[in-house]
Structure 1
Amino acid sequence: MFFFFNSGFGLCAVVKGGEDKIKITWGLNKSLPAGTDDKYKTIKVKLCYAPVSQKDRPWRKTVDHLNKDKTCQFKIVARPYAGNDSVEWTVEKDAPTGTYFVRVYAFDAVDGEVGYGETTDAKKTTNLFQVEAISGRHATLDIVSICFSVFSVVSLFGFFFNEKRKGKAESK
């Protein structure tokens, strides 16, 4: 692992899409020799599915080849490498409900991966967090749909009684 992380939240945190922010801090692991990061030109921070959120979902599958890997589908930020750095990111509204971790990739001048680090352990079981996606439904939408439903039922009975009354008047 080339980087250390501080994701800014505790174990099993639940964050809401479109509302909550997470702070991600990264930098070179102090145990590595000086100059290890000389090749690092670009950093890409991504939101990645934990194995529990990949189960029975092949479109989220982990593959060792970076171009085919579907684990990390959400870009948080991409910027030039500047040693220790951090970003505060608002969880996007379209992030699906699931369990996640964060991964940082380091790329060289020709955009080849030269290092990475992540907020979880090798088995991807610790320091994970839950994203609670927005449902897309608001209370106002529910209220309006109820009002229209009531209006349609009242209109139906109104027309029914009106036609029945007209039918009685014509038969006299």
Structure 2
Amino acid sequence: MGSHFFIAPLFFLLLFFLGTAYGGVLLSSLPRTLVVGASPKQAEVLKAGEDTITVTWGINSTLASGTDNEYKTVKVKLCYAPISQKDRTWRKVVDDLAKDKTCQFEIVERAYSSNKNQREESFNWKIERDIPTAIYFIRAYAFDSEGTQLGFGQTTNSQKTSKLFEIQGITGRHLSLEIAACCFSVFSVGSLFGFFVLEKRKTKRAS
């Protein structure tokens, strides 16, 4: 009885440490080494499927030489601002990046450029049609050869209150969908009418 009393707490303690060991990188532990910019102005409203965003990124030139020696890949992502995460658990902020739901949309992934003569890279991203209506900012992560985040940068401040912009998602049905739905309805009604005519003829022949 006494042995079971001690085994249970040790078991749960072991699970806790295993969960910690196999967790992801914590955002709070990452240095902000990348400078990230984007073309949208504060509070600008963009349209999904129509507008284009130009994003730029590069190492902070004020950092010590060699800071980015292990950087191999950069991923730039579109991220929800806090106002669009409130009461939405599927967008919640988690410090563990393996569980975080803030940045769900990848804009671009590129090999990291260590060219000292080109301190900044850029990419023109046409907003995809499936991006939902929300307030956003942009964040970039630097990864090593093992796919582990080593640094990051973002267009907004640490409180995520500056340089936010809105994307209006596509709502309602498009003309092509309306036409397809209309054609399908006409076909369905025609098929049903033809079925009744054939059944009526069969009934008359049988009688």
TM-score (ref. length: structure 1): 0.80
Code of the residue aligned with 1:99 in structure 2: it is I
Matched, 1:90 2:126: yes
Query: Where does residue 52 of structure 1 map in the other structure?
Result: 83
Query: Where does residue 63 of structure 1 map in the other structure?
Result: 94
Q: Deviations over 1:84-122 (max 9, x none)?
A: 211110111001100000000000011110000000000
Q: Relative to 1, partners in 2 of residues 1:144 and 1:63: Cα closer, same or farther, differing over 3 Å?
A: closer
Q: Would you tell me which structure has more strand in proportion to its own residues?
A: 1
Matched, 1:108 2:144: yes
The residue correspondences of 1:22-171 to structure 2 (distance < 5 A) are 22-83=53-114, 84-138=120-174
Displacement of 1:9 in angstroms is 2.0
Q: Greater CA deviation, 133-142 or 39-48?
A: 133-142
| CA–CA distance in structure 2, aligned partners of residues 105 and 143 of structure 1 | 44
Q: Greater CA deviation, 41-50 or 74-83?
A: 74-83
| CA–CA distance in structure 2, aligned partners of residues 145 and 109 of structure 1 | 49
Q: Deviations over 1:7-58 (max 9, x none)?
A: 0121111110011000000111111011111110000111000000000100
Q: Pairwise CA RMSD of aligned residues?
A: 2.2
Code of the residue aligned with 1:116 in structure 2: it is F
Q: 5+ residue gaps in structure 1?
A: 147-172
Displacement of 1:137 in angstroms is 1.9
| CA–CA distance in structure 2, aligned partners of residues 144 and 89 of structure 1 | 30
Q: Greater CA deviation, 110-119 or 137-146?
A: 137-146
Q: 5+ residue gaps in structure 2?
A: 1-31, 115-119, 183-207
Displacement of 1:141 in angstroms is 6.0
SS of the equivalent of 2:68 reads helix
| CA–CA distance in structure 2, aligned partners of residues 35 and 93 of structure 1 | 40
Displacement of 1:82 in angstroms is 1.1
Query: Where does residue 33 of structure 2 map in the other structure?
Result: 2
